[in-house]
Amino acid sequence: MQTLAQGITYNFIANEFMLSKSRAWTKVYDPASQNFITRVPESTDAEIQNAIVAAASAQPAWAALSLSKRRNMLLNLLNTLKQSSSKVRHCLCVEVGKTLVDAEAEFERALDAVETACTVSNEMGGVHHLNQSAEVYTIYQPLGVCLTISPFNFPFMIPLWSIPYALITGNTVILKPSEKTPSATQALAECFYRAGFPSGVFNVINGGGSVVNTLLAQPTIRAVSFVGSEVAGERVYDHAKATRKRVQVECNGKNHGVVLDDASKMKALYAIAGSAFGAAGQRCMSLSVAVFVGSTKEWIDDLVTLAKSLVIGCGLDPLVEVGPMISQAAKARVEEVITTAENEGAKVVLDGRNYHVPDYPNGNFIGPTILTKVHPYMSCYQEEIFGPVLCCVEVNTLEEAIQLINENRYGNGCTLFTSSPVNAGIFQRLVNVGQVGINVPILAPSGPVLRTANKDSFLGDQYVSGRSSWQFFAMTKTVTSLWS
């Protein structure tokens, strides 16, 4: 493999790392120290076309390989990923700001996704239907070239939710990673190269919104997988549907955690704090609303004490539990949300604004923040904050809590903390949210488990991951034959 210069992010096209000829580059900084990490190109139209041609040219031969050979290539990829574990985890800590524990969790869940794709059923080979007068069978064929657009917060795991399924089905792939966190993707491309994938089967094009628009306009691309913000997701969905592409979009969430007075108090509070403030709240599956039912509102003081004890700093420090925001702009936006909430009547009982970490005075840090007296009409409740901010809402009954959840427009997930199986049964039956937890913080399912977000949190044709996800990347064809 060619030697790559430090401080530059390369495109990966037809098994070559290519230095972009773009005149527009974005600099990426360590969110804890503000040290320079790399620069990312806004890839040119010619470079995008080169990636399209490479992927389209490679697809017929890749599809012609047997399922077992494509599976073996993914197994080779698993081995190269494991060999790159230290490098990938370091990228996640330094560039994304993850703690060591969070980086390890992302890496392991990424491996889980690839392993699950390797276990897909032989149903991919087709189904023969019994018929007395004719031969009828259903076959599955690849769509062609598929596009994955991934966010900054899980730059290694989320691409592997879709890419292995697209590949094992016989498609080729172009990945457009977030321009905010490109290094883990470059490490992923190196792994694909070392695993021996044929030229053009996996490609990476860097850039921002204009690159996405150019890619979506290409008729050669037949399917799009996107995870990111609601605004960008709606644009991707509308563009993809207008050009007759298959599309799956997972975007914003406002995940509620309901606390009943029969819950295990400290287990519930630890779960809420970990989910709300871990990864600096930059997870679409974070618990961002705690709904305290009845007397449990008296537990909020203990939650504040617990949140104050969390260690904030650089993710490479093994003692750190909460890292920085991804950028100065993200930090400023979240601080503005807190100020707006205060102006609208919410009470800031724990204020993380202007948080100072002595060893990292320029870091994008916001301390855990807890808002009480929050009402559904407030902007802090209506919007996904995407920061270490927990909105606390008080209701009198479980029924009120369920109604609150059902009236919220997002449907990523919700959870209930209780010791009563009866209450758990009522909750999981009556909430209209796709992913439900009982006594666990909201965590994204992995491996063979489908992600089942709904309402405004999901747009598209089929859910994002799970053992049956290969069907999104396949065209179904039914053949009926009659021979005399």
In a 13 Å sphere around the CA of 411, the CA atoms on its Cβ side amount to: 16
**The two three-digit tokens of residue 306, written as one number:** 């617990």
Which amino acid is it at 314?
Answer: C
Q: What angle do CA 196, 200, 203 make, to 5 degrees?
A: 95
Cα separations in angstroms, 204 against 148, 196, 290: 10, 16, 39
Tell me whether residue 191 is one of the annotated catalytic residues: no
Q: In which region does residue 459 sit, left (phi positive, over 0), alpha (psi from -120 to 50) or beta (all else)?
A: beta
Please identify which of the residues 91, 251, 284, 392 carries the catalytic annotation: 284
Backbone angles phi, psi at 259, to 5 degrees: -115, 120
Both structure tokens of 267: 């287990």
Cβ count near 274 (within 10 Å):
18
CA nearest 111: which of 150, 91, 84, 149?
A: 84
Give the whole-angstrom CA distance, residue 283 versus residue 296: 26
Helices (H), 142-295: 159-168, 183-195, 209-216, 230-242, 265-277
Q: Among 181, 196, 154, which Cα is nearest to 65's?
A: 196
Q: How far does the chain reach from its first CA to its final CA, in angstroms? A: 57
**Residue 158 and residue 227 in contact, taking contact as beta carbons nearer than 8 Å:** yes
User: What are 79's two structure tokens?
Assistant: 């081995």
Residue 441 tokens, joined: 């913080």
Q: How far apart are CA 38 and CA 23, in angstroms?
A: 15
Structure tokens at 475: 């065209």
Q: What is the DSSP pairing of strand 454-455 with strand 410-411?
A: antiparallel
Tokens for 195, please give them. 């695993």
Separation between Cα atoms, residue 102 and residue 146, nearest integer Å:
29
Helices (H), 322-453: 328-343, 379-382, 398-407, 421-430
The number of C-alpha atoms within 13 Å of 273 and in the hemisphere containing its C-beta is 24
Residue 357 has, within 13 A of its CA and on its CB side, a CA count of 23
Catalytic residues: 284
